[in-house]
Amino acid sequence: MPLWQIYHPEKAFSDEDKQAIAQHVTDMYESFMLPRFYVNVFFHALPKTSFYIGGEPCDDFVRVTIDHIARAIKDAETQQKFLKGCTRLLNPYVAGRGLRWELNVDDTPFEQWIVNGFKPPLPNTPAEIRWRSENRPSAYET
């Protein structure tokens, strides 16, 4: 599961922007063959008095943290391609609007993850293919 947490000034994104960003993020991971329901995008609007950069109140900065659980990107070339894809996805909404931004990716061990009480199937197995096509978790034979 990729979990995107986007911390932003209160008025940085409209509801339509948030929907569009979430759709773009979900589409990107679907192209990696992940079930769409794996993708979580949370927006955290922060007032200027709750957002500090360098000890100063801030209303022009967006912080994106991504937790990868379903897949880890191991090789440097793919990592850079992924970060460039994130930049293309986000730039119209951040840099294109004069906002400063930062992004990081953390990998969480696949073994420490469950969905609705189910241990997710391994990548590209028949069970994961079924989860993708049904867009929901379900029991499977291990």
CATH class of the region 2-117 = alpha beta
Spatial separation of the C-alpha atoms in residues 10 and 99, rounded to whole Å: 13
pLDDT of 142 reads: 78
Every domain of the chain and the residues it spans:
2-117
One pLDDT digit (tens) per residue for the chain, 142 residues? 899 999 999 999 999 999 999 999 999 999 989 999 999 999 999 998 999 999 999 999 999 999 999 999 999 999 999 999 999 999 999 999 999 999 999 999 999 999 999 999 999 999 999 999 999 999 998 7
